[in-house]
Amino acid sequence: MTAKLPWGLWWTQILAILRLEMKKNFARKRSIPVYLLAASPIVLYAAHSFAHARGWNQCSGQQDLTEFAGVFQLYVLRLAIFFSAVAVFMNLFRGEVLEKSLHYYFLAPVRREVLVVGKYLSGLLMTCVVFSLSTTLTYLLLLSHIRMTAARALAGPALADLPAYLGATLLACAGYGAVFLILGLLFRNPIMPTVAVLIWESILVFLPAILKKVSVIFYLESLCPVQAPFRGGGALFAVSADPTPAYLAVPGLLCLTIALLVLASLHIRRMEIRYGTE
């Protein structure tokens, strides 16, 4: 007779790891850049609204919405969440090795797969909370600015786009988090894999349509309610691809995340700690 899996015990252990890691994630000094990256759009749009209220600039509501789409896709998704995932998820295990504390987890009566899930959820919850608040506050500042313009009638309908931006934010944290969690386990030096992923995500606009789909950012941008136009000389070489529908993009990103977590769980089973070689 097949033994019943101890799901209740595993869930209790995951919650215990989650509580312990959350305290460390929010309080660590390496989290300061994450807070700064998340706060930058808030400061930018607060200054923008203040300048408009003082009569220093004039904008149309539709222009503001398009510019926000550009800031969100080029800065929030491609830079802020990307590098925050590097700082948080790549150090979930790498940081423990450098601090020579990972063996305490390995000596505890906890399956290593459970440890992977608990640590991943701690990083996911931390980044989701920080960037969800950032996206919400920034967008509300944008809408308050639109209400002060002649196009204030756009503010109400534009509010319906906020859930789509929040969904893209959460999936960005989940997708990039899983990518950099596995890279942090596979590589001792995080610089080269981070640069490789950054280059791939950056040159995606110039690649054939079929290669665009082997990327996190392509699906994230497909979920954005307003597409940022690609301008400049490089636009001559950009290759367009039809956005992936949400009913395919969301499951696709979730399947990628789960697959990477499974790979991380398989790898950590064979992981040996050698502090002296770090």
How far is residue 88's CA from residue 194's CA, in Å, rounded to a whole number?
13
Class of residue 232 by CB neighbours under 10 A (exposed 0-12, middle 13-18, buried 19+)? exposed
How far is residue 61's CA from residue 46's CA, in Å, rounded to a whole number?
16
How far is residue 178's CA from residue 184's CA, in Å, rounded to a whole number?
10
**Amino acid, res. 172:** A
User: Which distant-in-sequence residues (6+ apart) come within 8 Å of 180 by Cβ?
Assistant: 85, 86, 89, 90, 194, 197
pLDDT(128) > 90: yes
- How confident is the model over 156-169, as pLDDT tens digits? 677 888 999 999 99
pTM across the whole model: 0.87
DSSP reduced 3-state for 131: helix
Mean pLDDT lowest among 11-15, 55-59, 116-120? 55-59
Domain boundaries, the chain: 14-277
Confidence of residue 229 (pLDDT cuts 50, 70, 90): low
Q: Which residue did the predictor score with more confidence, 118 or 101?
A: 118
